[in-house]
Amino acid sequence: MPGIKRKLTDILIFSANMGREEGDSDETRLRKSVLSAGLVGCAILYLFTTGPFYIYFNEPAEGWNYIGWSIITLVGFTIVYLRKQGFYRLIDVLGFTTLASNLVSMIILGTFINAGAALLWGLIFPVVGNLLLHGFRRAGFWFALFICNLILYAILLPHLRTEINLPQSVAIAVFTFNLIVMSTMLMLPLSYFVTQRDLSLVLLKNEQDKSEHLLLNILPKEIAAILKDGDRMIADQFEGVSILFADVVNFTPMSAQLSPSELVGLLNDVFSYFDILVEKYDLEKIKTIGDCYMVASGVPRPRRDHALVLTQMALDMLDYVQTHTFNGKQLSFRIGINSGVVVAGVIGRKKFSYDLWGDAVNTASRMESHGVSNVIQITRATYEQIHQDYECVPKGTISVKGKGEMEIWHVQGKIESKVEKAPGIRESHPATGTPNPFAPLGEATASG
């Protein structure tokens, strides 16, 4: 028994490989293997069982009909296997011989049950077979021929015999067996198509998720949603925004001492932590330009505490770089913050990004470039919004290009008497328990 099972397995594997040709993709090879194994398996079954079965029961015409189809099929696949080509031509030939053989079976045996529903084999192959191999259009052609077979049989039926030499019980058993086999063979390709469809949907969903994640890493979610919904200009003015610029001190001479991979790795370590802070405080990273890091608060989601929360992030940034080394080097940063009105939007069609424009942005950049190592330098606009919560030391005025003399302050840290609650962790609304987006982030929301 194990020997017979092994032989059948070897035959099935050999049959599955008979239709393969050089240059076939993995998907094409799989579909060819399914079709080849099915046809060769049926041919062997008909040749050694079904054909002799009908001859034994005194229906030699039907028996030789099955044997003839089997021989044509096996010879055809042998030629294709030896020549390594001609598979599709063989499938067309077998399609016509199958439909013809099925119609002959119905004519020889008469009624639908007596013929074992042989005509339905034309639906399994070539219709479903070509659907598996070529797709709907090609299968539609064979389906039309199958319908023609049905119509022709219906026309001839009144003139066909009603009695056959097979006992009635045997004829019904053959009819039932054929329907079971046909249903099974129809179920297999349908299961394949459904599985492939489900797999395609899963892969599509994964790719969509990847694209969505990538898009959200480039653009704010609100802006990404607008771009996906339609092609329109994105430009908005925000009245209350704070902008931060942070730049590595003496970066140019330091970069000359590092290899490209070390330089990129160093900046990646620092800026990756800054990205974590941006996410923690629900801010918006705008861009990095070389060793300069730009982040904004209050765009594209307006918030009243924009200056407070950005100041807290700046303090966390300094604390991190002052307590860590990067590739064995201690870094120093200049940090500048300004608050005011900005225009925010997306320009261009390729490699676009969300950016900010306006005098407030330029002034924030000047606060950084005119700043001091490891110091957070702010303008009066920012000072007026944070001085009750953060200790700010006045540093007089500096000359800023295009602005003239400007007052500046250096932020020392959070005032000790204030609640020890870091900005960015929003209180819940007392009635609904949902975050209150307008609650000052350094103060507790009053409860009812």
Contact (Cβ atoms closer than 8 angstroms) between residue 398 and residue 334: no
Residues 429-442 pLDDT 10s: 333 333 443 333 33
Give the Cα separation of 296 and 307 in Å (integer).
9
Beta bridge partners of 428: 435
For residues 94 and 126, is the Cβ–Cβ distance under 8 A? Answer: yes
Comparing CA positions, the residue from 442, 287, 424 lying closest to residue 352 is 287
Question: CB within 8 A of 270, min separation 6: which ones?
Answer: 248, 321, 326, 331
Least Cα distance to 70 among 88, 92, 52 occurs for 52
Give the amino acid at 131: L
Compute the radius of gyration of the chain from its Cα atoms: 39
**Token code pair at residue 377:** 């330098």
CA dist., res. 448 & res. 446, Å (int): 7
pLDDT higher than threshold 80 for residue 446: no
How far, in Å, CA of 283 to CA of 391, rounded? 22
Taking Cα atoms as reference points, which of 361, 236, 241 lies closest to residue 305? 241
Q: Compute the distance between CA of residue 316 and CA of residue 323 in angstroms, rounded to an integer.
A: 11
Query: Would you state the pLDDT for residue 442?
Result: 38
CB 317 within 8 A of CB 248: no
What is the reported pLDDT for 385?
94
**Which helix (DSSP H) or strand (DSSP E) does residue 239 occupy?**
strand 234-248
Task: Give the pLDDT of residue 148.
Answer: 95
Rounded distance, CA 419 to CA 88, Å?
Answer: 79
CB 224 within 8 A of CB 300: no
Termini Cα distance of the chain: 82
What per-residue confidence (pLDDT) applies to 195? 86
User: How many Cβ atoms are within 10 Å of 57's Cβ, its own excluded?
Assistant: 17
pLDDT band at 365 (very low <50, low <70, confident <90, very high): very high
Of 444, 447, 402, which is closest to residue 425 (Cα–Cα)? 444
Q: At residue 69, does pLDDT exceed 50?
A: yes
Q: Which three-class secondary structure state does DSSP give residue 243?
A: strand
Q: Is the pLDDT reported for residue 229 higher than 90?
A: no
Residue pLDDT, tens place only, 129-166: 888 888 888 899 999 999 999 999 999 999 999 999 99
List, in order of start, the domains of the chain with CATH numbers: 2-207 (no CATH), 234-414 (3.30.70.1230)
- Written as one string, the DSSP assignment of 202-214 is HHHHHHHHHHHHH
Give the separation between CA 20 and CA 86, rounded to whole angstroms: 10
pLDDT band at 425 (very low <50, low <70, confident <90, very high): very low
Residues pairing with 287 in the sheet: 294
pLDDT digits (tens, 9 = 90+) for 235-289: 789 999 999 999 999 888 888 888 888 889 999 999 999 999 999 999 999 999 9
Q: Tell me the pLDDT of the chain averaged across its residues.
A: 85
Chain-centroid distance of CA 32 in Å reads 28
